[in-house]
Amino acid sequence: MSYNATIELFGLIAGAITSMGFIPQLIRGYRTKKLDDVSYYMPVVLIIGMTMWFIYGLLQQALAVIIANSFGVGSCLALLIMKGKYS
């Protein structure tokens, strides 16, 4: 495996691990239908930041950044939708 491929794989693994942090909150919110303890501001701020990272990834052609932040934005949007629906 080449150096660049190794670096890309490292970035993909890092992005996957980071993105998995949203999954427990999404599952818990879906099961309990309670998201009172989730602030509206946190996902909104994260969406803004992750969208900027996504654009950066597109400009730099950085696959790991694109994939991780796409998943993160989707997770935050799902969290906001669930909070609006269940709160």
Continuous H helices in the chain: 3-19, 23-32, 41-60, 63-86
Q: What is the residue type of 67?
A: I
Q: Indicate which CATH number applies to the domain containing 70.
A: 1.20.1280.290
pLDDT for position 19 = 87
pLDDT for position 55 = 97
**DSSP state letter for 56:** H
For the chain, what is the domain count? Answer: 1
In which domain, by residue range, is 45 found? 3-86
Q: Please identify every stretch of the chain with a pLDDT value under 70, giving residue numbers as ranges.
A: none
pLDDT for position 1 = 82
Q: What is the residue type of 61?
A: Q
Q: For 34-51, how does the pLDDT look when each residue is reduced to its tens digit (9 = 90+)?
A: 988 888 899 999 999 999
pLDDT for position 10 = 94
